[in-house]
Amino acid sequence: MALIHHTTLKPTKLELLTDWLPTRPWYRGGPDAPVLEKSGGFRLDDPEGEVGVEFMVATDISGLERTVYLIPLTYRAAPLEGTEHALIGTAEHGVLGKRWAYDGCHDPVLVAELLSLIEGRAPAMAQSITDAPDHEVTRSHIGAPLGLDGCTPEPTDDRDGTRLPVPGGMLHVHRVLTPVDENPPVPGQGALGHVATGWEGPDGTRPRAVLMTLLDA
């Protein structure tokens, strides 16, 4: 169970992401830095209790149209060997001390727990409340088991998001979220699985979208 500490973080998560987002191939903003606000998300529990796992939904409000990004994050008490290219930055946590924040698609703990979520073996947890399930998150899966067998594949970023080869398919992480009319959101035809949820939109609305789609390899 992840214990949520309501304390300070310097720099903040959004400040770290403001510098990092424009370096991504799926970033849709212009030459100026994004102006980000936290719009939602959820967490997964690391069974070992060592790594913080968060799926943040952040909205760039700097342009004429709001752009909503999905950012899987992990937080560690020490650097993760071999993933220097995936480091978003470091921050000082008011309780836990120095934390290393990573693009979670490169972190084996997040990938393993995400596959467990898709298969229904791990629950989605509330983003800011300790030991509270997030019932808005939906998931599905058909086909072969998704266990990694101790091997974490290397993800690939492109204009459309992040693609992660996993046993039994290809996991597409939708980094730019497009709201859909279905409630709950459902994956496209031919998908082997998905994860979906909603987030806080403008004027009290609550858009919803598919966050990840599992496709046949």
Domain boundaries, the chain: 9-215
Do 155 and 162 touch, CB atoms closer than 8 A? yes
Structure tokens at 189: 């035809």
| Helix (H) / strand (E) containing 114 | helix 108-119
If one compares 15 and 10, the residue with the highest pLDDT of the two is 15
Position 150 pLDDT exceeds 60: no
Cα distance between residue 199 and residue 177, in whole Å: 10
Position 194 pLDDT exceeds 70: yes
User: Tokens 């599992």, residue?
Assistant: 214
Structure tokens at 159: 């204009």
3-state DSSP call for residue 111?
helix
The bridge status of strand 156-158 relative to strand 161-166 is antiparallel
Strands, E, within the chain: which ranges? 9-10, 36-44, 52-60, 67-76, 87-93, 97-103, 125-126, 138-141, 156-158, 161-166, 169-173, 193-198, 208-215
Question: What average pLDDT does this structure show over 167-183?
Answer: 91
Please list, in sequence order, all residues whose beta carbon lies within 8 angstroms of the beta carbon of residue 101, skipping any fewer than 6 positions away.
13, 16, 73, 74, 75, 87, 88, 89, 90, 91
Cα distance between residue 48 and residue 73, in whole Å: 17
pLDDT per residue as tens digits for the range 21-40? 999 999 999 888 999 999 99
